[in-house]
Structure 1
Amino acid sequence: MGVCTSKPEKRNPYAIREPEADPSGIPGTPLSPDAGNHRRKDEVVAGKQSPFFPFYSPSPARFLKKSPVPAGSASSTPRRFFRRPFPPPSPAKHIRAVLARRQGKKATSTADSIPEEAEADGGAAELDKRFGFSKEFSSRLEVGDEVGRGHFGYTCSAKFKKGELKGQQVAVKVIPKSKMTTAIAIEDVRREVKILRALNGHSNLVKFYDAFEDQENVYIVMELCEGGELLDMILSRGGKYSEDDAKAVMVQILNVVAFCHLQGVVHRDLKPENFLYTSKDESSELKAIDFGLSDFVRPDERLNDIVGSAYYVAPEVLHRSYSTEADVWSIGVIAYILLCGSRPFWARTESGIFKAVLKADPSFDEAPWPTLSSEAKDFVKRLLNKDPRKRISAAQALSHPWIQSYNSIKVPLDILIFKLMKSYMRSSSLRKAALRALSKTLTADELYYLREQFALLEPSKNGSISIENINKALMKYATDAMKESRVTDFLSSLNSLQYRRMDFEEFCAAALSVHQLEALDRWEQHARCAYELFEKDGNRAIVIEELASELGLGPSIPVHVVLHDWIRHTDGKLSFLGFVKLLHGVSSRSLAKAQ
């Protein structure tokens, strides 16, 4: 495994830096499908030259046997760059086509023919680069020294010259309009400002002040964070964090990400470089930065752009179908690094990294994992589950026993419960009965998260909730981002709660995730216990036609073939296999595929 040397020059806290050397020596194009446009990585302050750290080795023990690698042979930041086509199930072909389309060129057979920057052509000159931002930048702010320079711009310190913020020190990201050579690039700048403006206010999110423009540049004015990036802190410690220190970092990251997800924003580039400390004090707050790759996402929507950074990218991103769960995977990679000083997935090329992400499992056998708590290992494993349906959410991670043992953490409202409730409300009465049986088998730790979520909905005195409670809870935590991501529109799927109320017992059945429970070692025990309860309270003789009607299957489905194993032929009741399949939910489409 290669080791890393960080660059000695100053790094830009708020704009992408130049592509860094890759261990493979392969030049490339951005992993983002926006090569050549302004897609940027907001990064931070001066880096420290580091000959090597266990953070960049398979394990601290194995690393000590290796000699330092010359500067430039590896990078402190895994790049978003590759040129060689991936082996299947690689998305490289798709990316090349997207890049070519965005640059106004025909798709070519080799990635090498795709330029790293979009070329300004006749069409680019006609682009409307007016953003509607204030044009009073020079009259409002006094610009100081440049603090970093990147591939698409640079960052300066500045201070307000007048108004309520007079004398306030800030950071200004300067994005030249000459770099915005496509309509996509212009829209990306517009969306980044919109997201920063909409999300402003969370304590672990970099503060946004204003955006300005003139004939040449766009200026994004943000909080000046002088404590350096989380990556610098990891390197200064040699990649060694105690469990308690790692928890302190995780709590802040999870809090801001859970907040973003509730608002309908997925970050898409979470990594240690994208978290800044407000000051040099190790106890200072962490701030999430770099929303240049972020996007709004509806609760029932899947994104397909392949963006992010290789070491932190989730498997489903490479498969081009993902949502907020992809951010949680990236947090899992960060947690793994903090606890053992090594990356869970590593290779000398980007395609090798992607193959490892798709196929390999992170190791929990090498030092220091055997000495860490079982709760810590369970926490990381549940974040790094390759199936996004089985991966816990950011809010659930904050209710995990490993985090809760550190401090009494306030669990935020989770957008996931509304997705699960939507599925429950649309289920047949038979599936609802099965879910109620399963909810009665939950452990105290699993019920803790559900109790916290139910309390956040502020139930009435009789201990029940309605659509009004849900509306009020969402509005309490809402920002303008919810309008863009249509989160509130999602409530229409819960409209049946207008006419009735839901108590905590039913809420547990509605808001539990069968897929997440299936990922646990004790899943078989859960399912068997639930089936026994279902046998006593809800199981009854049922004919296949009735079951098909319950499941909403159409006449085109050969129900006797598809549902044959669902019913016990001795007494006509639902079998254990049928019960488990019912828990997962079924559709005509999924049953047709199962034939």
Structure 2
Amino acid sequence: MGCCSSDTTYAYLAPKPQIDPSGNTPAFVRQMSNIRDHYTVVKCLGTGNFGSVYLVKDKRCGIERVAKELIKTIINENIMGKLEQELTLVKQIEHPCIVKIYEIIETSSRIYIITEYLSGGMMFDKYSENPKISENLAARYILDIGLALNCIHKFKIIHRDIKPTNLLFESDAPDSHVKLIDFSLMILEKKQDFYGDSVHYMAPEAFNGISTTKSDIWSTGVILYSLLSGAMPFNAESHEKIAQLIQTSSPDYTSSVWMNVTPESLSLVQRMLSRNPKDRPTAEQILSDPWIMTYNRGTLRSTPFDKHIHESIIKLNAQVNLGKAVFSFISNQVLSSKDMKKLKEMFRSFDKDGSGTLSITEVNNGYDSVGLPPPASVIELIKKLDTDDSGSIDYAEFLKGSEQWAKIAMKRELEIAAKKYEKGFDAKLSLLELRGTIPDIQGTEWLEWLRLADVNGDGYITLEELKDYLDTKVGNL
């Protein structure tokens, strides 16, 4: 089923879900001792505030899924109940622009949200890599987002975290839809914890703890602004300053970029980024907006953007990706005392026989005991660390291996992001530009980065300098 018709666009609405009035645990929440009872963990896709995200394979049918982990000890039980209620609603919705939720698995220490695996990549990555970026393409993406929002807003569900990383393509097919993921997880966050990569997309009222369907519209407006201009409407060197700008200033529409877009697209962006939520359109109104209707009729101009706009869009996406990778790398170079304590406790829980060493079996059983799936390559890791071929690893090897393992993953992520950033540009990473894309990396951290990575002191880092720095910090593993 398609997302739109030729003249008028309506979201596909599933039958209204039936919620158990007794408030009992939703039927699709399954209790089990460990996620590995029914799923094979293929690899870790990333780590968030409440746990990791895994690519898994359903043992019953062999189909790949995504398991988003939530660690119970850091989640308020009352809030978790609200999240489960909203996820129950979302599970009942069949929509081409909304990720399919299959079930929730609950263990003694973890909750896993099992969803379809969207293999097509992030929306903004696809957009920036397209050689023919145009208003027509931007409208197609905004239409998909609008369809998804119209559907969930009909059920009074607020997403709360609309941003590029939560918009994925279902596949690499040319007609693949953008799908909305990570429903309602922002209700788990504390207000002061919102300042992650979400801050750029937060509506003014969200900083006061208010989230409505119109907050989702604002976030979508920020995305549309960047799709058309290659810039963020609000940007500064810290999250606090970005938040202040969002609450007190207006986006810039005076640059030459906005003279090259259609009046209809500019009008839609301005209304979506209205400070007063009442002045923003609803998702349904976006679907009938003149700009979107022109796209539906196939008469919206598909002339590619000027080269400089295209380059700005590519660079914006590359800067965001590189900024996140650099921030992650710098923040995790040295394990904190808290992390070391966690590793020590994990080692003790794994070492059941008190021998001071860990076998492969003990590692697997240890992960089972805490309800956590072991990394897919745990056997390979132990073999790598087992320098004396004893079939096990000792305490020191375990701690060293765990630290290096995390750094290796970050090194790869950072190298990939750097290569994307350099593609088509001057093959140098400007420290000043990077600082603008990594809010809150200030003072001594940046001085240390400059001193170690910028070997010739010119304020730029080449890919070779970056590799040398990474090898120095991580080691040749």
TM-score w.r.t. length of structure 2 = 0.51
Q: Which residue of 1 aligns with 2:108?
A: 215
Q: Give the aligned partner of residue 275 of structure 1.
A: 167
Q: For residue 369 of structure 1, what is the aligned residue in structure 2?
A: 258
Instruction: Trace 1:532-551 onto structure 2 (pairs within 5 A).
Output: none
What are structure 2's unaligned runs of at least 5 residues? 1-24, 299-477
Establish whether residue 134 from structure 1 lines up as the match of residue 30 from structure 2: yes
Answer yes or no: is the 8 Å Cα contact 1:244–1:406 preserved in 2.
Answer: yes
Q: Helix, strand or coil for the counterpart of 1:173?
A: strand
Q: Which structure carries more helix by proportion? A: 2
Deviations 1:326-346 (A, max 9, x none): 111111111000001101111
User: Where do 5+ consecutive residues of structure 1 fail to align?
Assistant: 1-129, 296-303, 410-595
Q: Does the residue aligned with 2:136 lie in a helix, a strand or coil? A: helix
> Residue type matched to 1:324 in 2?
T
Alignment of 1:196 with 2:94, yes or no, is no
- Contact 1:143-1:157 within 8 A present in 2 as well: yes
2:208 is the counterpart of 1:330: no
Aligned counterparts of 1:174 and 1:317: Cα–Cα separation in 2: 25
Deviations 1:262-307 (A, max 9, x none): 1101111111111011113453111101114366xxxxxxxx9685
1:147-226 matches, within 5 Å, as 147-162=45-60, 166-180=61-75, 182-184=76-78, 186-187=80-81, 189-191=83-85, 193-198=87-92, 200-226=93-119
Aligned with residue 313 of structure 1, among 202, 218, 221 = 202
CA distance in 2, matches of 1:145, 1:223: 15
Are 1:146 and 2:44 an aligned pair?
A: yes
How many angstroms does 1:167 deviate by? 2.3
User: Aligned residue for 1:524?
Assistant: none
Distance 1:266 1:248 in 2: 22
Partner of 2:133 in structure 1? Answer: 241
Is this contact kept in 2: 1:265–1:294, CA < 8 A? no
Residue aligned with 1:134, SS: strand
1:156-213 per-residue CA deviation (whole Å, 9 max, x = no partner) reads 2222223xxx222211123333443x43564465345334324x31111110111112
- Rg (Cα) greater in structure: 1
Alpha carbons 2:86, 2:157 under 8 Å: kept: no
- SS of equivalent residue, structure 2 residue 295: coil
One-letter amino acid matched to 1:263: F
Deviation sequence 1:56-98 (CA, Å, 0-9, x none): xxxxxxxxxxxxxxxxxxxxxxxxxxxxxxxxxxxxxxxxxxx
2:104 maps to a residue whose letter is A
Residue type at the aligned position of 2:285: Q
How far apart, CA to CA, are the structure 2 residues paired with 1:149 and 1:360? 33
**Quick one: structure 1 residues 378 and 197, their matched pair in 2 at CA, closer, same or farther if it must change by over 3 Å?**
same
- 1:232 and 2:130 equivalent? no
Change (3 A) 1:268 1:150: closer
Judging changes above 3 Å, is the alpha-carbon distance between structure 1 residues 361 and 169 closer, same or farther for their aligned structure 2 residues? same
Shift of 1:402: 0.8
2:274 corresponds, among 374, 379, 385, to 385
Q: In percent, how many aligned pairs have the same letter?
A: 30
Quote the offset at 1:387 in angstroms.
Answer: 1.2
Give the match for residue 437 of structure 1: none
Give the partner amino acid of 1:364: Y
- C-alpha distance in 2 between matches for 1:350 and 1:145: 32
State the secondary structure of the residue aligned to 1:368. Answer: helix
Return the offset for 1:228. 1.3
Q: Deviations over 1:100-159 (max 9, x none)?
A: xxxxxxxxxxxxxxxxxxxxxxxxxxxxxx998323444433332222233321222222
Q: How far apart are the structure 2 equivalents of 1:291 and 1:148?
A: 17
Pick the aligned partner of 1:286 from 168, 178, 181: 178
Q: 1:131 touches 1:213 (CA, 8 Å); kept in 2?
A: no
CA distance in 2 between counterparts of 1:395 and 1:330 reads 16
Aligned residue among 348, 352, 357 for 2:237: 348
Alignment TM-score, normalising by the size of structure 1: 0.42
How many residues get paired? Answer: 267
Alignment deviations for residues 506-525 of structure 1 (CA, whole Å, 9 cap, x no partner)? xxxxxxxxxxxxxxxxxxxx
Counterparts of 1:369 and 1:193, CA distance in 2: 39
For 1:401, the equivalent position in structure 2 comes to 290
Distance, in Å, in 2 between the alignment partners of 1:321 and 1:216 is 31
Q: Could you list the per-position Cα deviations for residues 379-433 of structure 1 after superposition, in whole angstroms to 9, with x for gaps in the alignment?
A: 1111111111111111111111111011149xxxxxxxxxxxxxxxxxxxxxxxx
SS at match of 1:265: coil
Q: Is the 8 A contact 2:90 2:152 kept in 1?
A: no
Secondary structure, aligned partner of 1:405: helix
Question: For residues 511-590 of structure 1, what are the structure 2 equivalents within 5 Å?
Answer: none
1:186–1:397 distance in 2 versus 1, CA, 3 Å: closer
Q: Distance in 1 between matches of 2:104 and 2:200?
A: 32
1:213-244: CA deviation from partner (whole Å, max 9, x where unpaired)? 22232222110011111232345359x83100
Would you say the 8 A contact 2:158–2:211 is kept in 1?
A: no
Residue type of the partner of 1:389? K
Q: Is the 8 A contact 1:192 1:294 kept in 2?
A: no
Distance in 2 of aligned mates of 1:322 and 1:158: 33
Change in 2 beyond 3 A, CA 1:178/1:388: closer
Give the whole-Å Cα distance in 1 for the aligned partners of 2:26 and 2:263: 52
Aligned to 1:406, the other structure's residue is in SS state helix
Q: Distance in 2 between matches of 1:400 and 1:131?
A: 38
Query: 1: distance between equivalents of 2:273 and 2:216?
Result: 11
| Residues 153 and 213 in structure 2, CA contact (< 8 A), matched pair in contact too | yes
Instruction: Say if 1:294 and 1:201 are closer, same or farther in 2 by CA, change over 3 A.
Output: farther
**In structure 1, the residue corresponding to 2:54 is in which secondary structure?**
strand
Alpha-carbon separation, structure 2, partners of 1:292 and 1:317: 14
Q: Is the 8 A contact 1:313 1:329 kept in 2?
A: yes
> Once the two structures are superposed, what CA deviation does each residue of 1:309-366 show, in whole Å capped at 9, x if it has no partner?
2111112223444521111111111100000110111111222112211222212221
Q: Which amino acid aligns with 1:169?
A: E
